[in-house]
């Protein structure tokens, strides 16, 4: 029970954010590698060209982590407020003898728990439910498949490149 309550009121997991950002950057690097991969170009040359065009991966990863930390500036205040309402509900529930006041205490306990559950579910990523791929390479390229969608804009920039160029 203690771990369930701890999970409900825990802070956002920065390791999970790092993993998601690395996965996203790896995906974009794979697409760039696929774009540069041609019959007369080796895989190493295509990967090198993709890395050159992509830029400094560590810098981009750090910037993305900073953006993800700043994306919800009010979230800590909302979580604190929900914890405060929960504690008031527990105090009302424990210290009252009137039946109607006990019901109010129950509501003050249930509402923050359900709100926190909603925030937790809202933050779930579908990729965490899929199994991990078992390969030795960090790139998950299928050399025969071509992407069926375009991720570049009219200036031939990826979303990450657009983010960096806008600063």
Share of the chain above pLDDT 70, in %: 69
∠151-36-55 over CA atoms, to 5°? 70
Number of domains in the chain: 2
Say how far apart CA 46 and CA 44 lie, in whole Å. Answer: 5
**Per-residue confidence band for 13, with pLDDT thresholds at 50, 70 and 90:** low
Tell me: do 63 and 137 sit in the same domain: yes
Say how far apart CA 113 and CA 138 lie, in whole Å. Answer: 39
Residues with Cβ within 8 Å of residue 91, at least 6 apart in sequence: 105
Tell me: do 40 and 122 sit in the same domain: no
Tell me: do 46 and 90 sit in the same domain: no
Residue 41's pLDDT is what? 82
Say how far apart CA 143 and CA 137 lie, in whole Å. Answer: 14
- Indicate the Cα dihedral angle 87, 92, 93, 99, nearest 10°: -150
Tell me: do 21 and 54 sit in the same domain: yes
Distance set, CA 57 to CA 54, 82, 125 (Å): 7, 38, 23
**How far is CA 23 from its chain centroid?**
10
Residue 100 belongs to a domain: yes
Tell me: do 29 and 52 sit in the same domain: yes
Residue 7's pLDDT is what? 45
Answer yes or no: is pLDDT of 127 > 70: no
Tell me: do 67 and 137 sit in the same domain: yes
Contact present, 25 and 61 (Cβ < 8 Å): yes
Tell me: do 48 and 83 sit in the same domain: no
Answer yes or no: is pLDDT of 118 > 80: yes
Residue 38's pLDDT is what? 82
**Residue 24 lies in domain:** 13-71+133-167
Tell me: do 99 and 25 sit in the same domain: no
Tell me: do 17 and 51 sit in the same domain: yes
pLDDT tens across 65-108, in order? 777 766 666 778 888 999 999 999 999 999 999 999 999 999 99
Contact present, 63 and 80 (Cβ < 8 Å): no
Residue 143's pLDDT is what? 46
Residues with Cβ within 8 Å of residue 155, at least 6 apart in sequence: none
**Per-residue confidence band for 137, with pLDDT thresholds at 50, 70 and 90:** very low
Residue 5 belongs to a domain: no
**Per-residue confidence band for 167, with pLDDT thresholds at 50, 70 and 90:** low
Q: 0.75 exceeded by the pTM? A: no
Q: Please give the mean pLDDT across all residues of the chain.
A: 76
Residue 85 belongs to a domain: yes
pLDDT tens across 32-65, in order? 888 888 888 888 888 888 888 888 888 888 888 7
Tell me: do 139 and 60 sit in the same domain: yes
Answer yes or no: is pLDDT of 1 > 60: no
Tell me: do 45 and 125 sit in the same domain: no
Tell me: do 57 and 46 sit in the same domain: yes
């Amino acid at each position: 029970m203690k771990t369930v309550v701890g999970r409900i009121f825990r802070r956002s997991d920065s390791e999970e954010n790092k993993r998601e950002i690395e996965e996203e950057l790896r995906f974009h690097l794979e697409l760039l590698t696929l774009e540069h991969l041609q019959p007369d170009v080796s895989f190493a040359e295509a990967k090198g060209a993709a890395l050159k065009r992509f830029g400094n991966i560590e810098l981009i990863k750090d910037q993305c982590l900073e953006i993800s930390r700043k994306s919800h500036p009010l979230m800590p205040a909302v979580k604190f407020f929900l914890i405060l309402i929960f504690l008031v509900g527990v105090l009302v529930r424990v210290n009252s003898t009137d039946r109607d006041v006990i019901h109010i205490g129950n509501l003050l306990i249930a509402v923050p728990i359900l709100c926190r559950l909603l925030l937790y579910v809202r933050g779930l990523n579908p990729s965490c439910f899929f199994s991990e791929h078992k390969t030795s390479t960090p790139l998950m390229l299928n050399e025969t498949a071509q992407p069926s969608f375009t991720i570049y804009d009219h200036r031939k920039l990826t979303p990450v490149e657009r983010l960096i160029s806008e600063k």
